Amino acid sequence: MVALSACGPGGPSPVPSAALDSGIRGFVQLGPTCPVETRDVPCTTPYVAVLVILDLDDREVTRISSNDEGLFQVLLPPGEYTVAPTPGGDSLPSAPPQAVSVVAGSFTEIEINYDTGIRGAE
């Protein structure tokens, strides 16, 4: 999945994708999804999330969404970026931002782990 977006004046600039062969791709998951983890029972699930891609000056480059399987991909020119996951509801689930380096001719692969906060509810 490739998702690029642009807004009106003052919003993100469109990323020209015709000649790009680099970017970020990855997997977004949500966990824990069960109160007690047990062996051989996954306690995470793929998650649909909105991820904001920021440049070095913390300006929004684009926003992308992971799909139902938690997968995402975005074309970007080489450079340094921050992937800033948006929170799910009020403040949970949440995931920390990640610094990412994009190199020409390749995709940097990352994993975004959203925390449900279930551990704090016990």
Please report which residue ranges of 6-98 form alpha helices under DSSP H. Answer: none
Over the stretch 26-63, which tens digit does the pLDDT of each residue have? 999 999 988 776 777 778 999 999 999 999 999 999 99
Q: How many CA atoms lie within 13 A of 90 on its CB side?
A: 1
Domains, the chain, ordered by start: 23-115 (2.60.40.10)
Give, in order, the Cα–Cα distances in Å from 51 to each of 25, 34, 42, 57: 11, 25, 24, 17
Q: What's residue 110's pLDDT?
A: 98
Token pair of 1 as six digits = 């999945």
CA separation for the pair 17, 68 (Å, rounded) = 24
Run of H or E including 110: strand 107-115
